[in-house]
Protein backbone atom coordinates (compact mmCIF):
# COMPACT_ATOMS: atom_id res chain seq x y z
CA UNK A 1 0.00 0.00 0.00
CA UNK A 2 1.38 3.43 -0.88
CA UNK A 3 1.36 6.34 1.54
CA UNK A 4 -0.08 8.90 -0.86
CA UNK A 5 -3.04 7.64 -2.78
CA UNK A 6 -3.73 11.01 -4.46
CA UNK A 7 -2.79 11.37 -8.09
CA UNK A 8 -1.22 14.73 -7.28
CA UNK A 9 2.47 14.63 -6.51
CA UNK A 10 2.88 18.12 -5.03
CA UNK A 11 1.34 19.66 -1.90
CA UNK A 12 3.81 18.64 0.80
CA UNK A 13 3.42 20.71 3.99
CA UNK A 14 7.22 21.06 4.27
CA UNK A 15 7.50 22.64 0.79
CA UNK A 16 10.02 25.48 0.76
CA UNK A 17 11.16 28.25 -1.58
CA UNK A 18 13.91 27.39 -4.01
CA UNK A 19 16.25 30.39 -4.39
CA UNK A 20 18.51 30.73 -7.46
CA UNK A 21 21.51 32.45 -5.81
CA UNK A 22 24.50 30.21 -4.97
CA UNK A 23 27.61 31.02 -2.91
CA UNK A 24 30.67 28.95 -3.80
CA UNK A 25 32.06 26.88 -0.93
CA UNK A 26 28.94 27.20 1.20
CA UNK A 27 28.06 24.16 3.31
CA UNK A 28 24.85 23.71 5.25
CA UNK A 29 22.92 21.42 7.54
CA UNK A 30 19.25 21.97 6.86
CA UNK A 31 16.07 20.99 8.72
CA UNK A 32 12.55 21.48 7.39
CA UNK A 33 9.18 20.62 8.90
CA UNK A 34 5.56 21.14 7.94
CA UNK A 35 2.13 19.90 8.99
CA UNK A 36 -1.46 20.24 7.77
CA UNK A 37 -4.85 18.48 7.84
CA UNK A 38 -6.87 17.56 4.78
CA UNK A 39 -10.64 18.04 4.45
CA UNK A 40 -11.25 14.64 6.07
CA UNK A 41 -9.27 15.73 9.12
CA UNK A 42 -6.30 13.45 8.43
CA UNK A 43 -3.03 15.08 9.47
CA UNK A 44 0.00 14.98 7.21
CA UNK A 45 3.44 15.83 8.61
CA UNK A 46 6.76 15.94 6.79
CA UNK A 47 10.26 16.40 8.23
CA UNK A 48 13.48 16.68 6.23
CA UNK A 49 17.13 16.65 7.28
CA UNK A 50 19.66 17.61 4.64
CA UNK A 51 23.37 18.16 4.04
CA UNK A 52 24.36 20.48 1.21
CA UNK A 53 27.46 21.92 -0.47
CA UNK A 54 28.21 24.38 -3.27
CA UNK A 55 31.38 23.17 -5.07
CA UNK A 56 31.15 26.02 -7.61
CA UNK A 57 29.49 29.44 -7.91
CA UNK A 58 26.82 27.96 -10.20
CA UNK A 59 26.06 24.52 -8.66
CA UNK A 60 24.65 23.55 -5.25
CA UNK A 61 23.90 19.95 -4.36
CA UNK A 62 22.10 18.54 -1.31
CA UNK A 63 20.93 15.15 -0.06
CA UNK A 64 17.95 14.69 2.26
CA UNK A 65 16.44 12.05 4.47
CA UNK A 66 12.68 12.69 4.54
CA UNK A 67 9.99 11.20 6.73
CA UNK A 68 6.34 11.57 5.71
CA UNK A 69 3.43 10.59 7.92
CA UNK A 70 -0.22 10.72 6.86
CA UNK A 71 -2.68 9.36 9.38
CA UNK A 72 -1.24 6.02 10.52
CA UNK A 73 0.85 5.49 7.37
CA UNK A 74 4.50 6.46 7.14
CA UNK A 75 7.08 6.63 4.39
CA UNK A 76 10.85 7.27 4.39
CA UNK A 77 12.33 8.93 1.31
CA UNK A 78 15.85 9.67 0.08
CA UNK A 79 16.10 12.90 -1.93
CA UNK A 80 18.84 14.40 -4.08
CA UNK A 81 18.52 18.06 -5.00
CA UNK A 82 20.69 19.97 -7.47
CA UNK A 83 20.38 23.71 -8.04
CA UNK A 84 22.05 25.70 -10.82
CA UNK A 85 22.56 29.46 -11.18
CA UNK A 86 22.70 30.74 -14.77
CA UNK A 87 23.38 34.45 -14.14
CA UNK A 88 26.26 36.17 -12.39
CA UNK A 89 25.00 37.48 -9.06
CA UNK A 90 24.10 41.17 -9.26
CA UNK A 91 25.05 41.61 -12.91
CA UNK A 92 21.51 41.59 -14.34
CA UNK A 93 18.10 42.78 -13.10
CA UNK A 94 17.04 39.14 -12.57
CA UNK A 95 18.82 36.14 -11.10
CA UNK A 96 17.86 33.00 -13.01
CA UNK A 97 18.45 29.39 -12.02
CA UNK A 98 17.05 25.87 -12.22
CA UNK A 99 16.16 23.16 -9.73
CA UNK A 100 16.21 19.40 -10.24
CA UNK A 101 15.18 16.97 -7.52
CA UNK A 102 14.57 13.25 -7.39
CA UNK A 103 12.79 11.42 -4.57
CA UNK A 104 13.28 7.68 -4.00
CA UNK A 105 11.07 5.97 -1.35
CA UNK A 106 12.98 3.41 0.69
CA UNK A 107 9.91 1.15 1.00
CA UNK A 108 9.21 -1.07 -1.99
CA UNK A 109 6.33 -0.60 -4.42
CA UNK A 110 6.20 3.21 -4.10
CA UNK A 111 6.79 5.42 -7.15
CA UNK A 112 9.75 7.74 -7.59
CA UNK A 113 9.24 11.44 -8.25
CA UNK A 114 11.20 13.85 -10.43
CA UNK A 115 10.90 17.63 -10.13
CA UNK A 116 12.47 20.26 -12.41
CA UNK A 117 11.83 23.94 -13.07
CA UNK A 118 13.17 27.49 -13.57
CA UNK A 119 13.84 29.85 -10.65
CA UNK A 120 13.66 33.67 -10.75
CA UNK A 121 14.65 36.43 -8.32
CA UNK A 122 14.81 40.22 -8.47
CA UNK A 123 15.02 43.14 -6.06
CA UNK A 124 13.08 46.42 -5.89
CA UNK A 125 14.58 48.73 -3.26
CA UNK A 126 14.28 46.71 -0.02
CA UNK A 127 11.95 44.10 -1.51
CA UNK A 128 13.18 40.71 -2.71
CA UNK A 129 10.80 39.01 -5.15
CA UNK A 130 10.95 35.33 -6.11
CA UNK A 131 8.88 33.23 -8.49
CA UNK A 132 9.32 29.63 -9.63
CA UNK A 133 7.56 27.20 -11.95
CA UNK A 134 7.90 23.51 -11.15
CA UNK A 135 7.16 20.42 -13.23
CA UNK A 136 6.87 17.09 -11.44
CA UNK A 137 6.13 13.54 -12.49
CA UNK A 138 5.95 10.14 -10.86
CA UNK A 139 7.57 7.13 -12.49
CA UNK A 140 8.52 3.58 -11.64
CA UNK A 141 6.29 1.29 -9.51
CA UNK A 142 2.59 1.94 -9.95
CA UNK A 143 0.65 -0.25 -7.48
CA UNK A 144 -2.44 2.00 -7.58
CA UNK A 145 -2.57 1.87 -11.41
CA UNK A 146 -2.57 5.66 -11.60
CA UNK A 147 -2.12 7.57 -14.82
CA UNK A 148 1.23 9.28 -14.36
CA UNK A 149 1.22 12.77 -15.85
CA UNK A 150 3.48 15.82 -15.68
CA UNK A 151 1.98 18.30 -13.21
CA UNK A 152 2.59 22.03 -12.88
CA UNK A 153 3.19 23.90 -9.64
CA UNK A 154 4.37 27.33 -8.65
CA UNK A 155 6.03 29.16 -5.77
CA UNK A 156 6.27 32.87 -5.02
CA UNK A 157 7.74 34.95 -2.26
CA UNK A 158 7.83 38.65 -1.42
CA UNK A 159 10.25 39.60 1.35
CA UNK A 160 10.87 43.01 2.92
CA UNK A 161 14.43 43.40 4.17
CA UNK A 162 13.75 45.16 7.45
CA UNK A 163 16.95 43.97 9.12
CA UNK A 164 18.99 40.81 8.66
CA UNK A 165 17.82 39.29 11.97
CA UNK A 166 14.15 39.79 11.09
CA UNK A 167 12.49 40.15 7.71
CA UNK A 168 8.86 39.58 6.78
CA UNK A 169 6.73 38.97 3.74
CA UNK A 170 4.39 36.56 1.99
CA UNK A 171 4.88 33.05 0.60
CA UNK A 172 2.64 31.11 -1.75
CA UNK A 173 2.65 27.54 -3.07
CA UNK A 174 0.24 25.96 -5.49
CA UNK A 175 -0.50 23.16 -7.93
CA UNK A 176 -2.86 23.50 -10.88
CA UNK A 177 -2.91 19.92 -12.20
CA UNK A 178 -1.57 18.51 -15.44
CA UNK A 179 0.74 21.07 -17.04
CA UNK A 180 -1.24 21.30 -20.31
CA UNK A 181 -4.73 20.57 -18.92
CA UNK A 182 -5.34 22.38 -15.65
CA UNK A 183 -7.86 21.17 -13.10
CA UNK A 184 -10.86 23.33 -12.31
CA UNK A 185 -10.18 25.78 -9.48
CA UNK A 186 -11.90 23.64 -6.82
CA UNK A 187 -9.44 20.80 -7.44
CA UNK A 188 -6.37 23.01 -7.56
CA UNK A 189 -4.26 23.44 -4.44
CA UNK A 190 -3.33 27.02 -3.46
CA UNK A 191 -1.76 27.89 -0.10
CA UNK A 192 -0.66 31.47 0.64
CA UNK A 193 0.21 33.30 3.84
CA UNK A 194 2.52 35.50 5.92
CA UNK A 195 6.13 34.52 6.49
CA UNK A 196 9.10 35.63 8.58
CA UNK A 197 12.81 35.28 7.83
CA UNK A 198 16.12 36.00 9.52
CA UNK A 199 19.84 35.38 9.72
CA UNK A 200 22.04 35.27 12.84
CA UNK A 201 25.83 35.31 12.59
CA UNK A 202 27.55 33.00 15.06
CA UNK A 203 31.11 33.27 13.75
CA UNK A 204 33.20 34.78 10.98
CA UNK A 205 31.85 32.31 8.42
CA UNK A 206 28.99 30.64 10.31
CA UNK A 207 25.35 31.62 10.52
CA UNK A 208 21.89 30.36 11.35
CA UNK A 209 19.08 31.18 8.91
CA UNK A 210 15.39 30.63 9.53
CA UNK A 211 12.07 31.12 7.83
CA UNK A 212 8.54 30.09 8.75
CA UNK A 213 5.04 30.63 7.40
CA UNK A 214 1.36 30.03 8.10
CA UNK A 215 -0.33 29.21 4.80
CA UNK A 216 -4.09 29.50 4.30
CA UNK A 217 -5.95 27.31 1.83
CA UNK A 218 -7.45 29.35 -1.03
CA UNK A 219 -9.14 26.46 -2.84
CA UNK A 220 -11.27 23.48 -1.85
CA UNK A 221 -8.47 20.97 -2.41
CA UNK A 222 -6.06 22.83 -0.13
CA UNK A 223 -5.86 22.28 3.65
CA UNK A 224 -7.32 25.16 5.67
CA UNK A 225 -3.97 25.79 7.37
CA UNK A 226 -0.42 24.65 6.71
CA UNK A 227 2.42 25.38 9.12
CA UNK A 228 5.94 25.18 7.72
CA UNK A 229 9.44 26.12 8.92
CA UNK A 230 13.07 25.84 7.85
CA UNK A 231 16.28 26.15 9.88
CA UNK A 232 19.74 26.17 8.28
CA UNK A 233 23.21 26.14 9.78
CA UNK A 234 25.69 27.46 7.21
CA UNK A 235 29.43 27.04 7.66
Give the chain's mean pLDDT: 94
Superfamily of domain 27-234: monomeric porin ompg (2.40.160.40)
Q: What is the pTM of this model?
A: 0.93
**Domains in the chain: boundaries:** 27-234
- Classify burial at 202, counting beta carbons within 10 Å of its beta carbon; exposed 0-12, middle 13-18, buried 19 or more: exposed
CA distance 91 to 216: 36
Q: How far is Cα 39 from Cα 66, in angstroms, rounded to an integer?
A: 24
pLDDT at residue 16, as a whole number = 97
pLDDT of residue 145: 87
- pLDDT tens, position by position, for the chain (235 residues)? 444 444 455 678 999 999 999 999 999 999 999 999 988 889 999 999 999 999 999 999 999 999 999 988 899 999 999 999 999 999 999 999 999 999 999 999 999 999 999 999 999 999 999 999 999 999 999 988 888 999 999 999 999 999 999 999 999 999 999 999 999 999 999 999 999 999 999 988 899 999 999 999 999 999 999 999 999 999 9
Q: What is the pLDDT of residue 52?
A: 98
User: According to the model, what pLDDT value does residue 203 have?
Assistant: 81
Tell me the pLDDT tens digit for each residue of 25-71. 999 999 999 999 988 889 999 999 999 999 999 999 999 999 999 98
Q: Are 25 and 14 in contact (CB under 8 A)?
A: no
Task: Determine contact, residues 40/220, Cβ cutoff 8 Å.
Answer: no
Amino acid sequence: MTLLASAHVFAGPADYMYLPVITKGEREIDFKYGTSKNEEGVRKSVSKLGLGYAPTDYWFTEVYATREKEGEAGLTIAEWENKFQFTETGKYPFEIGMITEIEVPLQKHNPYELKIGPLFQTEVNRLQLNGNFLFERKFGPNPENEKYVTELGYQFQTKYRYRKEFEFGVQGFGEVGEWNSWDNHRNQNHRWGPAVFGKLNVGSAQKFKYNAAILYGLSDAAPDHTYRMQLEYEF
